[in-house]
Amino acid sequence: MRKIYTVATLLLIMAAGCKKFEDFQIDPNKSTTATPDLLLNTVEQSAFSVLDLSAALATRQMVFTNSVSNEQYYGWTRAGFNAYSNLRQVMKMEQEANRLGKPEYLPLVKFFKAWYFLQLTNTFGDVPYTEALKGDGGISSPVYDKQEDIFIAILKDLDDANAAITSSTTAVQGDIVFGGKMIKWKQLINSLSLRVLMSLSLKESNTTLNIKAKFANIVNHPDTYPLMTGNGDNGQLTFYDLQGNRYTHYNDNDLQTAYYMEETFIDLLKGLKDPRLFTFAEKAPKYSSLPDNDFSAYGGVKGSAPISENNDRVVAGEASKIKSRYFNNPVNEPSVALGYPELQFILAEGVIRGWIGGNAADYYNKGVTASMQFYGISQPAIDAYLTLNPYPVTNSLPAVMTQKYLSSFLSGGWQMFYEQRRTGMPVFDVSGAGVLNNKKIPVRWMYPETELQNNQQHVSEAISRQYSAGDDINALMWLLKAE
Amino acid sequence: MPKHGGVLLCILLSHVFLQGFAASARIDLQKVPCSVSVQNKPLEEVFEIIEKQTHYSIVCMDQSGLMSKKVNVNAPNATLEKVLQLLATQATFNYKCLDNNIIIRAAAAQPAEAPEEKTVSGKITDAKKQPLPGVSIMVKGTRRGTITNDNGDFQIKVQEGDVLTIFFTGYQSQQVTVDKTNTYQITLLDDEKKLSEVVVTALGIKKEKAKLGYAAQEVKGADLVKARESNVISSLTGKVAGLTIHNTTDLFQDPEISLRGRKPLIVIDGIPDQSADLFKINADDVESMTVLKGASASALYGSIGQNGAIMITTKRAGSKDLSVEFNSSTQFQTSFIRIPKVQTSYGNGFKGQYTYIDGSGSGPEGSGWIWGPKLDQRDATTPSGYFETPQFNSPVDPNTGKLVPLPFLSRGKDNVKNFFRTGVISSNNISFTKSGDKGSFRASASHIYQQGIVPNTDLKNTSFNMAGNYNLSDAFSMNARISYNKEYTHNFPETGYGPTNYLYNLILWTGPDIDVRDLRNYWVPGKEGVQQRHYNTSYYNNPYFQAYEYLRGYNKDNTFGSVDLNYQFSPSFSAKFRNGINEYGLNRNYDEPKSYIGYGNKSRGQYTVSTGNYFDIVSDLVVDFNHTFSSKFKIRAQAGGSNYYRNFKYGTSNTDGLTIPGFYNLSNSASPVLATNATEERRTRSFYGLVDIELYNALYFSVTGRNDKISTLPVANNSFFYPSLTGAVVISQLVKLPEWFSFLKARGSLSRVSSGTLNDNDYTYSYLPSYSKGTIWNNTPSLTYGDVIYNTSLRPQTSDSWEAGVDTKFFGNRVGLEVTYFQTKDYNNIVSIPVSLGSGYASRLENGNVYQRRGIEIVANANPIRKGDFRWDVMVNLSTYRRYLKEISGGGNRLNYLKAGDRTDRIFTNVYQKDPSGNVIYNTNGFPLADNFKRFVGNQDPDWIYGIENSFSYKNFSLRFLVDGRIGGMIYSTTNQKMWWGGTNPGTVNAFRDDANAGKSTYVGKGVVVTGGAATYDGNGDITSDTRTFATNTQAVNYIDYMTNTSNGANNNYNYFSQTFLKLREVTLTWRVPGKWLKGTFFHSADVSAVGRNLLLFSKMPNVDPDAGADNLQTPSTRSMGFNVNLKF
């Protein structure tokens, strides 16, 4: 009997040793709070990673030979809403900054909101904006805002962000792009404002937007609106030879074996005797015995040609591969999201359009020089190039756009595609038999299928108010309708 | 403690009867026919005669020797009333009828000295010395009785001279007179009409199957040891209706088990094993496995048991003699029943071109495709007389420094045969058992060695097992078991599609121009340890390099066991305290040599170590009351409390590059070592109870209830109650059925089970919002926030189930049929409800959606021939299962692609557009036109799952074979898709391919092109208007381009195939050495078997064994043959 009591006592002791249920309500392996710097790092990593090979296909800079690429042959359909996922991190950064009383992060919050909503609206047209990102506030099927309203809001956010950064603003932490130098953020914010305003060039007469005046106001008030002053101010992500920090296409087998340079792009570089060709491409196998700096050693295949035609030419050794550093060098070059050369070309276009005064040739030269410096071209070579290809007095916009195009190789994400969509410059080749979509370059993407499932009413409203023919890749969004 | 509890109860009952005596209803007894003629027989025997003639039990209330009084009665064709009156007069007693009992009490108080009361104990076994639990023991002439426990043991308070009546359905009743001895070994003999299959039910309670209100099926351990599988659960394939086992062909991979569509709980000797390691249990130690199919069956395990349970009962000692058993089984995997059949006509390359340059795989090297030149082509201009091209093994011409062209021949036709080796699975087990008056003991040791078909791969599995029980005192007994198991291998193959898969490197992406034997030296000379030698070093790995240098070690130590303490307060009242633990320590290592190819990863040499430590303990305190009031009324009640605690700690460390090649140690890391670790803890506290009632040996009811409090829900909602009710009616006991209709039972159950975790194996804290670690950028840390909106007031999810079934037996039990229908409603499911990504999130974690699962299970068995020494038995299992989405939460009309009412296994995939008559629409470029919406292509779940087992025995020979399979249901085949895509599918050998190699575009896809008009779609993808006009597609394309773009999807249902198959799963031919040969030797018995597994496969699905239920480039399916020897000493 005593033994029974002993067992009972032991049982009680064991029961008393148990952890309380309340104590299990915290995840011991993860943090439930964050500081904004930790989120800023995450946001920067994704926002500044813009090395998209699809964009290189769509902008006729590269060609894929393994199968029919929808980007290359303009047969794409839907795009995704992943930018909202990145915006969630931005929103969390905002929440944590407010919680901890760190207002220095808030201008960056506005910048990144502008950054991602631009991507979204450029891709689709109308997208959820005012009701977006409120899932934890109970809005799980947000309404779609008109593209015009989104652009107005983006411009306002950027303006506010610029105003919010002063010389006394505390430096942000966790900043892997600018190391907390707030003036550089200010420069980037204003440079983005100019990019946005220029992207609205078809809306020159829209008085609500008043883009011309806004553009001029920024350029003419460098004290209030400082801009990037050189490649050192580029909004770019630098890679490191550390796990997860390497160049996006490091070790990319497809890039090594199935991507080739596009012929019109190579021909353009060859025609201009552009030394950047030697940093972009390898010699074609057929001409491998020629010296590296011989322009005729390089070739490409046509993005518009049927795949079998390109295969034949590849097998014949006519096509250049991308320079091996793009897949062999773990660090390679930074990923430039918005750089100084692009800013100079925007300013040159501003002068050409008469939005601002100043010397367009000067901007052009600075842009070309900065782009070539980025690729390590020597100053004498740059000078020689500018002598050979000076800023043209007449018909100067195509030259500016061409230089913008050349400086966009594996940089800036889809920006160059949007620039071409806006200006038609340079012309992307659709002459080949492989091009889909009735030989048209699509001007947008269809909304994601998940929206039809989870937010059908709002997406349907947005489609019907914008596009009479339905959700179509050839339908013109508000942005592309001149007024 | 109430030492005289039994006596008290008896007195109490007597009191009740005395009160009732005045108003006895004798009228009924006059209607009962009774015919008795005896001379000088004890009253006891007369009562037995009466009991046999009528359905009344006669219970004697006192011990005055009344029963041994001898009487004379001559009353043919009388009534029971008349007979009793005659007897009462002679033997002087009063009697009374109470329900179906006749209570007898001596008329006059006889103060004769009562013999001293004592407690006797005993063990009841069957003829095979297996203990019988749940056997009723009554003291004859009293209402006192008890039931044997799980070990067949019982104790009862009696007086010398009392007669114990032992009855158990399915066995012949027996009577034992108590003498001076205090322990009794009683063996019950089989009744010819054997009904009683004893099965293990929840909490380890053994019950006769005939009494269950739900479906359960048992498989004997003896059926599992001969034709071996590497894990014991796979051996259940085809043997249990409703249990689907997707057997993987890969070495050391868990099969996917689902019972009625969900993963069941694994229970070992009453202790749930949620770590569910199927490899840690050795089949040699398994006495039986019982599959409890529904929620009712396992409701007592709580939430974790809601999907049914597989109850594994391990072996215990039986006989008193020392018994040594040795079992040895060896099987060889000598051939394949299904292997990807690749073409051997064309080699590596692309568009008919191939020139090896440096293995980087581009340009004339063909990007790694198998769309190269035709092999064995005559060419008079070359030295060999065949087409020649530089290849990876070409010598370098010392004069030119260039590679010397070699003939392009089909040298790699037998790569599979040349690379794979014979797999072996060998298992040896020895066990020792002995039992005595006080207890029993069993110890066993076993070792399983499995040699993989891939060189340098294996799996070893060693177990030690000890189990015993001991009666510490008359009332206090103990039952304990401990098992230690080690699973270990220095290398086992990686699975899944990709450069880590052997088939990927061996046949899918190695053209038949390459003889794998040429790759045996796998280092580039001079670059040993740094660069592998292969024909393509940017996409693929040399299979030998992979086998000998890319090593995946696995070391797991499992310890699991339990200790039960049982205290018998009185014959009907006991308490049990049970503790069970599961523990493991796991160490894994991943050695990745320099130059190893992963996707987009040319390794710089990597080393990863991962460890895990798991511990769980469940403690139950259960009080048990069981009482047999008569053979027609038994009750068992249990109430208990339980506490479950789990602790799981794990971590991983890895380097991102080794400084010294081939030295696998974290200290050899070139850059900082990355490491993570985590701890997960959970707890469940429960109270539960059950009441089982048995009436008239025909009506069985069971009610259970359980309240759980769990740690994986918000505290406000973490406690919940759920009940179950089951019932069974053995109609054949109540109603006179025709002679051939031996047995008929109807059963039904209702249950509710709630649970509070998304999935038991999910991350424990997945219901709590938190930040995850992001990528550290140049030493700056980061965090990310996940895409789930958390509901802070999640409630438990609940399943309400019911099932109904009929069990029948015919022709003296020679034919049997059991049919079960079940239906389950799953609601308040903790589910991820997708939301618009515009909300910033992907889903809400909510209680919501209603699903219904339902299905039918049929088990039939027959014994068509039983003649002399020959016997033939057949068993057939057949089942079907469906799951439907019934309601969608949040008012949406769709959940992803499903509408309310749809089956949930509908497959939607990216397809090509079709015209109204079903023709594929082609684009202007000659390739099929992608649809903007995913479309339905088939259902995933099979229509039927079946198994048929035949066994024959003749004298000393027995033969068993099992076929099983599935009918219907689609699976996606990665293997087939990649074969069409990559150029290895035999279907790609045709004239179009030759044209394509010659640079000609001659392939015209079968379908139409749109010549005008347009179609408009609504948001669901349905066409709202269609003005399109069509013409037949005439645009020719290059065949190779067509295949590399479509993988033949337009002609091949997008590589979804029906998984219908039939497999000859198991054949065992056993010869038992005749007993007379063993006389004089120390062997008790010996048998030898020839065995085979997976002998034949019939399936229309090409290249893949559909048994696995999925195909992500599976290991070829092997055929096993071997032998088994079993010796008993």
- CB contact under 8 Å between B925 and A433, yes or no, is yes
Using CA coordinates, name the residue in chain B closest to A21. B711
- CB contact under 8 Å between A308 and B769, yes or no, is no
How many Å from the N-terminal Cα to the C-terminal Cα in chain A?
Answer: 98
Cα B247 vs. chain centroid, distance in angstroms? 11
User: Residue by residue, what is the 3-state secondary structure of A190-227?
Assistant: HHHHHHHHHHCHHHCCCCCCCHHHHHHHHHHCCCCCCC
B901-928 average pLDDT score: 94
Q: Does B470 touch chain A (CB under 8 A)?
A: no
Interface of A with B in 170-229 (CB under 8 A): 174, 176
Instruction: Please tell me which of the candidates B599, B671, B681 has its beta carbon nearest to residue A24.
Output: B681
Confidence class of residue A397 from pLDDT cuts 50, 70 and 90? very high
B885-891 contacts at long range (C-beta below 8 A, 24 or more positions apart): B885/B849, B885/B850, B885/B851, B886/B825, B886/B850, B886/B851, B886/B852, B887/B849, B887/B850, B888/B848, B888/B849, B889/B831, B889/B833, B889/B846, B889/B847, B889/B848, B889/B849, B890/A140, B890/B833, B890/B846, B890/B848
Give dist(CA A228, CA A183) in Å, integer: 10
pLDDT at A8: 63
pLDDT at B6: 37
User: Does residue B11 register a pLDDT over 50?
Assistant: no
ipTM rounded to 2 decimals? 0.93
| CB contacts, 8 Å: B932 with chain A | 77-78, 446, 449
Q: What is the nearest CA distance from B356 to chain A, expressed in angstroms?
A: 12
- CB contact under 8 Å between B351 and A311, yes or no, is yes
SS3 B1124: strand
Instruction: Please tell me which of the candidates A30, A242, A252 has its beta carbon nearest to residue B600.
Output: A252
For the ranges A112-126, B171-185, B496-510, B716-730, the maximum mean pLDDT occurs at: A112-126
| CB contacts, 8 Å: B674 with chain A | 243
Give dist(CA B980, CA A431) in Å, integer: 31
pLDDT at A9: 67
pLDDT at B26: 45
| CB contacts, 8 Å: B923 with chain A | 75, 436
How many Å from the N-terminal Cα to the C-terminal Cα in chain B?
Answer: 46
| CB contacts, 8 Å: B841 with chain A | 88, 135-136, 140
Confidence class of residue B184 from pLDDT cuts 50, 70 and 90? confident
Of all residues in chain A, the percent with pLDDT exceeding 70 is 96
Q: Which of B437-451, B675-689, B783-797, B883-897 has the lowest mean pLDDT?
A: B883-897
Q: What is the nearest CA distance from A420 to chain B, expressed in angstroms?
A: 25
Q: Does B602 touch chain A (CB under 8 A)?
A: yes
Identify from B601, B782, B1000, B1046 which residue to disrupt to test chain A contact, counting A C-beta atoms within 10 A and taking the largest count: B782
The length of chain A is 483
Instruction: Please tell me which of the candidates B476, B925, B1019 has its beta carbon nearest to residue A452.
Output: B1019
Which letter, b or e, does each residue of B393-402 get, where b requires 16 or more Cβ atoms within 10 Å of its Cβ?
A: eeeeeeeeee
Of all residues in chain B, the percent with pLDDT exceeding 70 is 94
State the number of CA atoms in the 13 A half-sphere of B727 facing the CB: 6
Give dist(CA B235, CA B226) in Å, integer: 10
SS3 B16: helix
B441 DSSP assignment: E
Contact call for residues A179 and B787 (beta carbons, < 8 A): no
| CB contacts, 8 Å: B771 with chain A | 30-34, 38
B932-953 average pLDDT score: 94
User: Does residue A166 register a pLDDT over 90?
Assistant: yes
pLDDT at B873: 93
Confidence class of residue B18 from pLDDT cuts 50, 70 and 90? very low
User: Does residue B4 register a pLDDT over 70?
Assistant: no
SS3 B909: strand
Using CA coordinates, name the residue in chain B closest to A439. B924
B129-148 average pLDDT score: 75
* CB neighbourhood size of B1068 (10 A): 20
| CB contacts, 8 Å: B1045 with chain A | 67-68, 307
The whole model's pTM is what?
0.84
Following DSSP, what letter does each residue of B90-102 receive, concatenated?
HHTEEEEEETTEE
pLDDT at B419: 95
Amino acid (1-letter code) at residue B1093 = R
Confidence class of residue B249 from pLDDT cuts 50, 70 and 90? confident
- CB contact under 8 Å between A42 and B890, yes or no, is no
Following DSSP, what letter does each residue of B1000-1022 receive, concatenated?
---EE-SSEEEEE--EEE-TTS-
State the number of CA atoms in the 13 A half-sphere of B976 facing the CB: 24
User: Does residue B16 register a pLDDT over 60?
Assistant: no
Confidence class of residue B112 from pLDDT cuts 50, 70 and 90? very low
* CB neighbourhood size of B526 (10 A): 7
Q: What is the nearest CA distance from B835 to chain A, expressed in angstroms?
A: 5
Q: Does B792 touch chain A (CB under 8 A)?
A: no
Interface of A with B in 424-483 (CB under 8 A): 433-436, 438, 446, 448-456, 458-460, 470
pLDDT tens digits for B1072-1125? 998 888 888 888 889 999 999 999 999 999 999 999 999 999 999 999 999 999
Identify from A24, A289, A331, A445 which residue to disrupt to test chain B contact, counting B C-beta atoms within 10 A and taking the largest count: A24
Cα A143 vs. chain centroid, distance in angstroms? 25
Identify from B616, B707, B780, B896 which residue to disrupt to test chain A contact, counting A C-beta atoms within 10 A and taking the largest count: B780
- CB contact under 8 Å between B768 and A26, yes or no, is yes
- CB contact under 8 Å between B776 and A244, yes or no, is yes
Confidence class of residue B7 from pLDDT cuts 50, 70 and 90? very low
Give dist(CA B68, CA B41) in Å, integer: 8
pLDDT tens digits for A45-63? 999 999 999 999 999 999 9
- CB contact under 8 Å between A242 and B1044, yes or no, is no
| Interface contacts (A, B; CB < 8 Å) | 286
A231-256 average pLDDT score: 93
Of all residues in chain B, the percent with pLDDT exceeding 90 is 55
* CB neighbourhood size of A481 (10 A): 9
The length of chain B is 1129
B113 DSSP assignment: P
Q: Does B99 touch chain A (CB under 8 A)?
A: no
Interface of B with A in 741-770 (CB under 8 A): 765, 768-770
| CB contacts, 8 Å: A132 with chain B | 838-840
SS3 B1078: helix
Contact call for residues B213 and B234 (beta carbons, < 8 A): no
Give dist(CA B767, CA B35) in Å, integer: 73
Taking alpha carbons only, the member of A1, A306, A340 closest to residue B1001 is A306
Taking alpha carbons only, the member of B237, B261, B309 closest to residue B1063 is B237
Taking alpha carbons only, the member of B642, B697, B730 closest to residue B272 is B642
Mean pLDDT of chain B: 87
Give dist(CA B59, CA B10) in Å, integer: 12
Using CA coordinates, name the residue in chain A closest to B842. A85
Contact call for residues B269 and B313 (beta carbons, < 8 A): yes
For the ranges A175-189, A246-260, B200-214, B1070-1084, the maximum mean pLDDT occurs at: A175-189
Identify from A49, A68, A324, A327 which residue to disrupt to test chain B contact, counting B C-beta atoms within 10 A and taking the largest count: A68
